Each structure stands twice: as structure tokens, then as C-alpha cells.
């Protein structure tokens, strides 16, 4: 006798409900990135109307004659050699010089440039997390928290904190570039070569750029890059 279980056909598998074109469009990373950028601009744009403050702004911009002269060979040499304000961060000085060169000595442009760097950092963080996890909405939520958290008001609205947003920009750009490189390398390499090959990966050029930028040398960058080189088993590209 034929077993009943063998003669009973399996129940039909229900097809997943179709996703509407509007839902697919709403979850597209490009639209999410645009929403993050617009929200960040709306929240922080009032800073463009603010003036310099007496704390550090005269040292970094409003009364710094080397900065107010704009970008020049002499100014760049000064930026590379000075320990003014107790820090060695030539790219910060060069960025302030560019502000003075392009927009003059007023406070609006430095505030707006800080804001644009913060928008770029938000989008870089979203792209980095989406690249590492594959989770679009969770990556967007973390990026939104980063963008709109009150702790970042000082970095965006204070001209002297250019070093902070500039440091974050190179830090996130380095991790994004390194993650992209690591993912492509893992796709071309047999699994048995993964550990040895990860030790031979050269750091992106942005790593070196970030080293001469901030008030702190991004000392946690190597460990962050190592976590990308050695993903967990649950990683989308482990």
C-alpha cells in the first residue's frame, strides 16, 4: 500500500504580495539619501545667519591674518609648519583659507561649509552602513540619528569646529573606500586566502589625508578598518 504521505500533494506555496512601484521608489537609497540631506539642511541652516563667537573663532578665522589673506604658498607653508592654537592640523587651516579666499571674511560662508561637510558625513555614514550590512532602513535610521543629534550642534554651528567635521569626513570616506575595496577583493579571492590577503591590503589614500587633518589623528581608524577586513560570519559579504 502506498503511504498516504507520499500520495498527498504538498500545499501550494502562496506567492509573496507584489511590491508596488511607489514602495520600491520610496525605499530607493537615492531618495533616502536626499531625505537625509534635506532634513539635515533644514535643521542646521539657521546657523548660516549666526555671527562669530569670541571663543576660538578669532584664533581660527576672524582675527587670524594668515587665514584672512586666503590661500597662498606662504599661507600653506604656515599651515604645514605651525602649531597655532595648540594643534597641528594643516588641512583645517587650508580649508579656512579657502573660505576666506572664495567668500571673504564674513561668518556666513564658514558656517555653511561646516553644514555641507556635516551633510556629506551623514550621506557617507548611510552609504557605509548600507554597504556593510545591506540593511537600508536601519542604516538610514542610524544616519538620521547621527545627523540630527544635538551633540553635533557644536561641530556644525561653531566655525572653530571645522576640524571636527573635516576629520569625520575623511574618517568615513576612508572606511567607505576601504570597505568597497575589501568587498571587491573578497569576491575575487578564494575563501582560503581571506586571512592572509587581508593583511596585505594597502590603506586608501584617504587614510593618509585624514592623518594630517584633525585635532586628533583618528587613532581608531586602523582598528575600524580591521573590522571591515575581518567581517563576522553574519556579514552580507563574509
- Residue 113 predicted with pLDDT over 60: yes
Q: How confident is the model at residue 223 (pLDDT cuts 50, 70, 90)?
A: low
- Residue 15 predicted with pLDDT over 60: no
For residue 211, give the nearest of 182, 173, 181 by alpha carbon.
173
Average pLDDT over residues 224-231: 57
Q: List the domain range (segments joined by +) for residue 155.
A: 31-191+200-217
Q: Is residue 154 in some structural domain?
A: yes
- Residue 233 predicted with pLDDT over 50: no
Q: Is residue 209 in some structural domain?
A: yes
Q: Is residue 15 in some structural domain?
A: no
Measured in whole angstroms, how far is the alpha carbon of residue 98 from the centre of its chain?
21
How would you label 78-113 residue by residue, b for 16+ Cβ within 10 Å and e otherwise? bbeeeebbeebbbbbbbbbbebbeeeeeebebbbbb
Q: Is residue 62 in some structural domain?
A: yes
User: Over the stretch 127-185, which tens digit does the pLDDT of each residue have?
Assistant: 999 988 888 999 999 999 999 999 999 999 999 999 999 999 999 998 888 888 877 77
Residues in contact with 201: Cβ distance below 8 Å, sequence separation at least 6, in sequence order = 178, 181, 182, 185, 229
Q: Is residue 158 in some structural domain?
A: yes
Contact 165, 118 (CB under 8 A): yes
Q: Supply φ then ψ for residue 165, to 5 degrees.
A: -70, -30
Using CA atoms, how far apart are residues 49 and 86, in angstroms rounded to an integer?
29
82-96, 164-178, 218-232: least confident range? 218-232
Distances (CA, A) of 129 to 25, 57, 174, 234: 20, 34, 13, 14
Q: Is residue 72 in some structural domain?
A: yes
Q: If DSSP states are collapsed to H, E and C, what string results for 14-82?
A: CCCCCCCHHHHHHCCHHHHHHHHHHHHHHHHHHHHHCCCCCCCHHHHHHCCHHHHCCCCHHHHHHHHHC
User: Over the stretch 33-47, which tens digit does the pLDDT of each residue have?
Assistant: 999 999 999 999 999
Question: Number of folded domains in the chain?
Answer: 1
How high is the pLDDT of residue 237? 44
Contact 141, 94 (CB under 8 A): no
Which cell numbers hold the place of 114?
561646516
3-7, 11-15, 105-109, 183-187: least confident range? 3-7
Q: Is residue 20 in some structural domain?
A: no
Q: Is residue 236 in some structural domain?
A: no
Amino acid at each position: 500500500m502506498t503511504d498516504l504521505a507520499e500520495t498527498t500533494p504538498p500545499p501550494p506555496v502562496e506567492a509573496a504580495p507584489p511590491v508596488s512601484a511607489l514602495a520600491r521608489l520610496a525605499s530607493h537609497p537615492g531618495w533616502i539619501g536626499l531625505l537625509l540631506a534635506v532634513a539635515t539642511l533644514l535643521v542646521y541652516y539657521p546657523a548660516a545667519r549666526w555671527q562669530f563667537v569670541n571663543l576660538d573663532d578669532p584664533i581660527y578665522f576672524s582675527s587670524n591674518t594668515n587665514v584672512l589673506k586666503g590661500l597662498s604658498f606662504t599661507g600653506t607653508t604656515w599651515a604645514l609648519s605651525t602649531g597655532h592654537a595648540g594643534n597641528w592640523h594643516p588641512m583645517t587651516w587650508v580649508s579656512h583659507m579657502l573660505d576666506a579666499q572664495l567668500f571673504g571674511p564674513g561668518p556666513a560662508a564658514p558656517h555653511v561649509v561646516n553644514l555641507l561637510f556635516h551633510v556629506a558625513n551623514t550621506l557617507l555614514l548611510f552609504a557605509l552602513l548600507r554597504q556593510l550590512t545591506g540593511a537600508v532602513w536601519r542604516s538610514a535610521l542610524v544616519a538620521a540619528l547621527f545627523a540630527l543629534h544635538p551633540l553635533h550642534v557644536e561641530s556644525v554651528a561653531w566655525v572653530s569646529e571645522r576640524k571636527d567635521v573635516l576629520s569625520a569626513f575623511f574618517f568615513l570616506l576612508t572606511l567607505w573606500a576601504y570597505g568597497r575595496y575589501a568587498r571587491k577583493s573578497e569576491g575575487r579571492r578564494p575563501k582560503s586566502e581571506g586571512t592572509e590577503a587581508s593583511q596585505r591590503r594597502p590603506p586608501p589614500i584617504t587614510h593618509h589625508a585624514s592623518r594630517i587633518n584633525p585635532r586628533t589623528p583618528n587613532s581608531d581608524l586602523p582598528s575600524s578598518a580591521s573590522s571591515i577586513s575581518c567581517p563576522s560570519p553574519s556579514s552580507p559579504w563574509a
